[in-house]
Chain A
Amino acid sequence: MKRTHTPGSLPPRPRQHGVLRRLGLAFGALLLSASLVHAQEQGGSAVVSFQDDISTLDPAIGYDWQNWSIIKSIFDGLMDYVPGTTELVPHLAESYEVSDDGLTYTFVLRQGVLFHNGREMVADDVRYSIERVLNPETQSPGQGFYLSIAGAQEFIDGAADSVAGIEVVDDYTIRFTTSEPDASFLHKLGLNFAHVVPQEAVEAAAGDFGHQPVGTGGFKLKEWVLGQRVVLERNPDYFEEGLPYLDEITFQVGVDPNVAFLRLQRGEVDILGDGIPAARYTEVINDPVLGEQVAMGEQMQTGYVTINVAMEPFTDVRVRRALNMAINKDRIVRIVNNRAVPANQILPPLFESHADDYEGYPYDPEAARALLAEAGYPDGFDTELYAYNVAPNDRIAQAIQADLAEIGVNVELRTQAQSTVIEAGGAGQAPLLWSGGMAWIADYPDPNNFYWPILACASNIPGGWNWARYCNEDLEARAARADTLARSDQADERVAEWREIFLAIMEDAPWIPVFHELQVSMHSTNVTGPKEIFVDPMHIPVHYEMVRRAQ
């Protein structure tokens, strides 16, 4: 993946003492000053505000933007990402090896990693955690990510008691075997679903592990008052030295974003979990003082309009291309206060497979009208656009309606509740659908995550998220092949192949990519840290372990 930022300022690690006395003394002095600096940085507490209640902190279940990073603060997985970036690195694993055929992954685990209940984490815990996600009784949304492990399907079907492809070699070594090379397997081990949980704590919670989380992470649960707040306290045994900086972090829920903003200015809230209230956005961004407290960053997101390729007149690719040329993306970006960049392709710029010199379809209503006429619709036609009814999506839908009216396409708006729109899309009822509010944010920074769930023939099924009903068998075969290029020496080839695949999809134009939204967050002057961690693309939205008190 593209490395977009240099890693955040992690605390210096103590070095080995050299043989020579002078070197030893010099190092000793360095050590002393380094630990004095980071001792100053450590401590204090912070408050994060959210409007919605936190649903669950069970890593096997939690799958919303709100609890994603909180879960990452309480639990750890074999792999993780450098704070503020999309760079994959080993985490609970000290090292790993991939076999030549790309089918076997052997991980050596760190030793002495303790769960919050005091017990040491061992390889069997990793096996338990992943089998738990595969187990249908857990009802984990992440079950599908681990089907590539050999024997996973048999385990799910109840034909086997354990997953054949997960082998606990010894307490600190675990081996995974996939049935086919899976180039994104390491990313999947970085997802929350693969974070390690202790069996005894899960069983003791009797179905309520989501409210009684026990992990290995930098923070542990101190207090949870339902409907009011979750308080996490620093884990003094955390294996990452020096982290987290804060002693305590409180998540207050049920706080309206406008009131949260007032509280931030009073110093009662340190991080606005729901971001800057829309009405204050422009004022804050342009304020010299308040603007300093805002962090903006890219995310692996694209907002798009799906065109139902199975419905007339969208079966004709010329019509789809005409629609692509009719949308004024700059105007839509202004509707969201420039909190996005216009998109000319499917993958966001954060991906290495993003085609930097691709121009895409230009904004050209004249050419669009001409193309429609060529396709047999000189007078345009009538159609419907589904959209989520919460601002600003309703206004974006209106802008799209106006743009299409310019080329003779009369759009009737259907702005509804999110679950209703999703249902319509899944049922293949929506001719056009604006994805805002449910826009695709990649689960992990691999291009295949932008293909399989939303553009593949495999997801072109009733209830699937491929609302465009798009299916290109040739591209499907190429995609499947690209995903078998699992070796590190094949990485470049894979990046190039995915780039080609997505450009080929743009030729077919089943989507109108509109913009890539930027993440924006605001924090008080009481907390600080590298800007990237406040808009972390993986520890969404904020990397809580990296936040520290300002001096």
Chain B
Amino acid sequence: MARIDVERLTKTFQSIKGETVEAIRDVSVAVGDNEFVSIVGPSGCGKSTLLYIIAGFVAPTAGAVLVDGKPVRGPGPDRGIVFQEYALFPWRTVQDNIKYGLEEKGVPSDEMERIVRRYVRLMGLEGFQHKYPKELSGGMKQRVALARTLAYEPDVLLMDEPFGALDAQTRELQQDELLAIWREKKTTVLFVTHSVEEAVYLSEKVVVMTARPGRIKSIVDVDLDRSRHREDVVTSAVFERLRNRVWLDVREEVLKHHALSTDQFGRDRSD
């Protein structure tokens, strides 16, 4: 049985102008236990919407999401989420942010301290425990956000372009940290990104979505030797081939979307 089963999900909503917009149509995906799956697609293809439905923040118009066979009816601690905008509680210090989910769970305080210490160490946040989010860099904030979610030990990790706001160097470091954590903790990850490179580098399976309304265009299995270093992986022929494959699929959709939103003179019709 798959950990997450997305069954024929459709989501339509009313735009401000009163038009009915179909964000995703008839999407079915299965994510296996301990699997790392990425979703890529052109912007506006509904990949974040899909993630929010799985998280239980948004109700689907049709279809269902099953986690461990049970239908999702709202947000729950079995599915941890990490956002691009970090979403740390600004009134809580680093350690109190990490504690949040543990407090909700009712973990005894000495146990809580122990878990917080472990994640502070794991994420390289030593010396920053008592800082507030506004005093941290973007990369640091995202590490706190990840620690806050992991400390709760969710069965599934949902990530919505978590490294999208980071500079290229920080982003690569964070990717490798995430891979290390995923390998160590053996959690199931569903990762939304618009970076083909990132999707192929991180995941075992890449799901490509079409332009709006988002449907599944292709599912690409990524078989990379992850015991090797980053530079060896990204320069390998296998990586190159997979990246090109996914890139072409995404590009086709981007062009389609572009053609839809421009007239015959190439002018932008999207607004």
Are A and B physically bound partners?
no
